[in-house]
Amino acid sequence: MIYSFGITLCGIILCGASAYFCFERAHKPHDNPEPRLIPWRFLALLSAVIGLLLVAKIFNSLGFETGPDKSPFGRFH
């Protein structure tokens, strides 16, 4: 259990650093007329979403119930 928590925390830190780096690269000026070979914005958003999923995993392992059934707003119909 404790190893899973530590690995998840490391994953959150890694996803946050990756998202920061990718957003930084995406917002640099691009002077070449050629298209960029690496889709930095997509990679940044992907790492941010994975980080948020890992945060939800941490909350679930701490005992908080997440998901649409446990939301104060209920399921959206």
Give the three-state DSSP class for 26: helix
**Could you read off the pLDDT of 18-65 as tens digits, one per residue?**
999 999 999 988 888 888 888 999 999 999 999 999 998 998 888 887
Give the closest residue to 67 by CA, choosing from 77, 57, 50, 6: 57
What tokens were used for 16? 């946050």
More confident residue, 5 or 65: 5
In which residue are the tokens 């650093």 written?
17
Q: Which amino acid is at 66?
A: T
Split at pLDDT 50, 70, 90, the class of 74 is low
CA-based nearest residue to 42, from 59, 25, 56: 25
Amino acid at 74: G
